[in-house]
Chain A
Amino acid sequence: MLLIECPWCGQRAETEFSYGGEAGITRPIDPSALDDAEWADYLYMRNNPCGSIKELWNHSQGCRRWFGVERDTVSYKIAGSFKLYAGEEK
């Protein structure tokens, strides 16, 4: 069971979190301008690297904040957690 660092709450067991897939998938500003292939790429295509990947996690049983985790898909080692934007917290 992974030990995940929530940027707001600290290290917690994996059971407190839920997974949100690959991080850094940005929603297109104007989806209507995209052709089908470009839209499908945004919608479905995800990286599945053998190694380091940045992914979204939600502290769903805690503070309910979404944040990023950099994790190695082979060793499961976590390089670190990060907040998703630099702006001021609400």
Chain B
Amino acid sequence: MQKNRLQSGGRIDRTQVLNFRFNGRAYQGCAGDTLASALLANGVYLIGRSFKLHRPRGIVGSGAEEPNAIVQIGSGAATLPNQCATQVLLYEGLDANSLRGWPSVQFDVGSITNWFSRFLAAGFYYKTFMAPRKLWSFYEKLIRDSAGWGHAPTKADPDFYEHRNAHCDVLIAGAGPAGLMAALAAANSGARVIIADEQSEFGGRLLSQTDEIDSMAATDWVAQAINTLAQHENVRMLPRSTVFGYFDHNFVTIAEHCTDHLGAHKHTTVRERLWRVRARQVILAQGAFERPLVFCNNDRPGVMLASAVSTYVNRYGVCPGREVVVFANNDSAYRCALDLDAAGASVKAVIDSRATGAGDLQQEVEALGITVMTGHVVTNTLGSQQIRAVQIAKFSIEGTVPATLPAQDLVTIQCDLLAMSGGWSPAVHLHSQSGGRITWSEELHCFVPDGTTQNCVSAGAGNGAWELHDCLRQGLEAGKAAIEYCGLEISDLAEPKTEGIETNSLQPLWRVPAVKAPDRCPKQFLDFQNDTSVADVRLAVREGYRNVEHVKRYTALGFGTDQGKLGNINGMAVLAEYLGEPIANVGTTTFRPAYTPTSFGTCAGETVGQLFDPVRKTAIHEWHEAAGAKFETVGQWLRPWYFPDGDEDLDAAVKRECLATRRSVGIMDASTLGKIDVQGPDAVKFLERIYTHDVGKMKVGRCAYGIMLGEDGMLKDDGVMARLGEQHFYLTTTTGGAASVMSWLELWLQTEWPDLDVYLTSVTDHYSTISVAGPTSRQLLQAIDCDTSLDAADFPFMSTQTATLCNLPVRLFRVSFSGELAFEINVASDHALTLWCALMDAGKNFDITPYGTESMHVLRAEKGFVIVGQDTDGSVTPTDLHMSWMLASDKDFLGKRSLRRPDALRADRKQWVGLIPADKTTVIAEGTQLIEDTAARAPVPMCGHISSSYDSPTLGHPIALALLKGGLERAGEKVYASLANGKAVPMTVTSPVFYDPQGERQRD
């Protein structure tokens, strides 16, 4: 039984009945309804409880501006919190619930806060719960539970989202009269046009009003326009699509809501699509928001915007009240009285605060026998969970607003609906986001766009054009101008004919005085969603707040899901009044994207789950998987972390892998190393400037450990580099630094030294690298048909040569990151798996053991080899790392000059040391701070930190590497590792090289 549904009219389909639930009760609506229109059709006025005071609230608006009717849709993983009932399209089976109200929205225990509301002024929480500080977490939970918004789903979103890039000549935001007219003007030229509107149907206000255009009903004109546009392939029409962001260089984002209106679907198609549009011209035609009026108890369910009431009557065939009072300070609300009368409601009175009344429309209204009371205001409403009556008083603005109204003049009129209109505010959000200025119009009493910084133009009500013919004309002109800008042929489309009417101008009415002062009278709400009242703004001014941004943060004016679309302007005007300044001086708060709430799913698009970030796998990856390796991510790479044998844990596996490598032979996939091929006549000259060591003196076939510094003298990256020919080098970088080093080398080559004839090529993916380390590694290679001598005399440590292994061409490097005799084998990635398998096969006779990154770290830490990014952090010089010997004195290189800066020479720089716990059992967590004095009072001075820490299988006790103040000179001293539990573990400072300090094993 839809008791408020009209017998005919509207754009809903009465034959298609849709069942839905609200707060557990079953209702019926029609296809074409929003949740809000369906609830009003069923006579449901109480939709929720307010945020702070738990006051009963109902539907105020009919679109994105709605502050009160915010609901939770559905349940489970796909539940949608904080949805605007005025924007949720009704579907069969829809299940919606109020956000607040316990045990029910009708009887809400929390509403006792309203009794104390006089004490709950702005800043109440800040002032009250300051002390004792420790109890804040307790208060916070209570307050959050009591206030709170919708519930975020706790499971992963089952829906699909996508991003789509587009370019167009003309993007039109809003498909009301101005937007449609602009699209029609642009369509014929062949321009690529995108027209988007957040509503399910194009037409904007024309769907809500009873205007005529070109002697036909406005809705027929809309249908004709859509039909025309649909015949143009160059026009893309996007209904249910909100233009929510306007960024630099005409980059505009649109959220298209593809499937929500279809109901509980199976999550098989895209739910929301993010359009990322680069437009040559943007036409902003988003229209305007009607303003509420500010009087006592103006938040009671049944108090609605006049335009919203017209929308429900004309578009949805719902008459939200039987006995109605209309309250306005402008002409537009008179249309609402006409619409209500036509719908059969009894309009008890039109209360107009202006002494002059309205123009032509007033005569129309009075001709229907409706009382018009000019020079009157509504000062209060009566009722509990729905409006029952209004109190009206005589009123005139002579100079300033009177402090109070005389109580004896009040007249009470019974009603169940109050339609109010305080005038209109252009939706300047996108214009403002684009960088355009807005200015206060003394003529229109609103902020209007004034000057653009990007290629955009505002048209229609969003530009302060209230009358239909102005909207159509501005849209037409904007469309033609955009086409002209694009250099296309302008169509000769003429402005459609409309009937003009005489109107009287609006008289500003920012707040209606009550019989008592604002802090003594019932609440006069400015911002419904945040329960911000006139008294709150007055208090803020009294407490010294002057700036609108500060007042916003103190009173919460303009926060929330609606971002003050209704309330802000009244709040700013009241602020201006109490500050004694013109509104133009007070200004607005900043308009930022998103225009309306946009889901995380839309922002993320496809980049979730496995598509979140690309995964790089080595050519040998499938073998690792088959061997049961545990993986870790290093940058985008997936690398084997360790290879557990049966049920082994990390520690056991690492111990086994390390000991086997030191005893016989270990094998590791080192393919992720960054590899750069450098060739050209000036290769030596170039690399001399990049590396700190003497590159020119390297003989062909020799390798060197090389470090690169930033110009600030700090270690940037390291790796082995080899001279393959007179003009040909091969560099390796850290796994994580590969791309940045490549880009950095190119920067120097392209910007500073373009005269050098050098070419850089990344070969990271072309070659796979297999590292074979351990005392029997030489025998292993010989066992798979190595065609060259691997003896130390023929192939010494730190050299490279080409060779053939199992008939595969390879390049061998005699380098070691484990301290053992070792060979790194570069092989074309296509052959990597074959070679790896051959090595594993032959290795059975040598106790071969594959090892992962964790063992690699332990083996190198035992040898005191640094890992850039773990042991360094961009503030460590080569001297700090005992690498002074690598700094060539007879040449310049990047960063060299910085090593003489006073800071680089400080004696108390953090420097690289080894640490062994005195008890030889405690493994200290990496990142632990070092202190000198365990008795020192907090804050305890820190003298360094641990960068690497492991339980060394080879040595049989824990070891750590650390950066310690003045560390180079402190071997043998004692420091303490300060643990999170307050304990301090004594540590002995040692050399960072724990194992084979002479390096005999790797040179073998």
Contacts and interface: CB of A to CB of B under 8 A. Distances in A.
Interface of A: 1-3, 13, 18, 20, 26-27, 30-32, 34, 36, 39-40, 43, 56, 58, 60, 64-66, 75-78, 84-85, 87, 90
Contacts of B435: 75-76
A3 B743 contact: no
B247 A1 contact: yes
Nearest to A4: B249
A39 B754 CA distance: 23
Contacts, number: 65
B248 A36 contact: no
Contact of A36 (B276, B747, B902): B902
B137 interface: no
A22 to B, nearest CB: 12
12 contacts: A1-B248, A1-B249, A1-B276, A3-B278, A13-B278, A20-B747, A27-B752, A32-B896, A39-B897, A64-B743, A64-B746, A66-B747
B901 interface: yes
Contact of A3 (B251, B747, B757, B898): B251
A66 B750 contact: yes
B751 A43 contact: no
A20 B746 CA distance: 12
B897 A31 contact: yes
A31 B711 CA distance: 11
Contact of B901 (A18, A26, A36, A60): A36
9 closest cross-chain pairs (CB), A and B: A31-B897, A3-B249, A1-B251, A66-B750, A85-B754, A76-B248, A2-B248, A39-B897, A66-B751
Given A1-B248, A3-B278, A64-B746, A43 B898 contact: yes
Contacts of A3: 248-251, 278
B453 interface: yes
Given A31-B892, A56-B751, 7 more contacts: A1-B276, A30-B892, A31-B896, A56-B747, A64-B743, A77-B453, A90-B757
Contacts of A87: 754-755
A15 B898 CA distance: 33
Contacts of A1: 247-249, 251, 276
Nearest to A20: B747
Given A3-B251, A31-B897, A84 B754 contact: yes
Contact of B897 (A32, A60, A75): A32
Interface of B: 247-251, 276, 278, 435, 453, 711-712, 743, 746-747, 750-752, 754-755, 757, 759, 892, 896-898, 900-902
A43 B711 contact: yes
Given A3-B249, A90-B757, A58 B902 contact: no
Contacts of B892: 30-32
Given A3-B249, A76-B249, A87-B754, A39 B743 contact: no
Contacts of B250: 3
A4 B145 CA distance: 48
Given A36-B902, A39-B901, A84 B712 contact: no
B750 A18 contact: no
Contacts of A85: 754
Contacts of A32: 892, 896-897
A79 B453 CA distance: 14
B21 to A, nearest CB: 42
B354 to A, nearest CB: 42
Nearest to A60: B743
Contacts of A90: 757, 759
Given A3-B251, A64-B743, A39 B278 contact: no
A52 to B, nearest CB: 15
A65 B249 contact: no
Given A56-B751, A66-B750, A2 B901 contact: no
Contacts of B755: 87
Of B249, B755, B901, chain A has the most CB atoms within 10 Å of the CB of: B249
Contacts of B901: 36, 39-40
Nearest to B901: A36
A87 B751 CA distance: 12
Of B250, B453, B751, B900, chain A has the most CB atoms within 10 Å of the CB of: B751
A66 B747 CA distance: 7
B251 A75 contact: no
A26 B972 CA distance: 46
A3 B279 CA distance: 11
Contacts of A26: 752
Contacts of B900: 36
Contacts of A20: 747
Nearest to A89: B754
Given A64-B743, A75-B435, A43 B712 contact: yes
B746 A66 contact: yes
Contacts of B759: 90
Contacts of A31: 892, 896-897
Contacts of B247: 1
Of B754, B755, B900, chain A has the most CB atoms within 10 Å of the CB of: B754
Given A1-B248, A43-B711, A34 B747 contact: no
Contacts of B897: 31-32, 34, 39
Nearest to A29: B892
B620 to A, nearest CB: 28
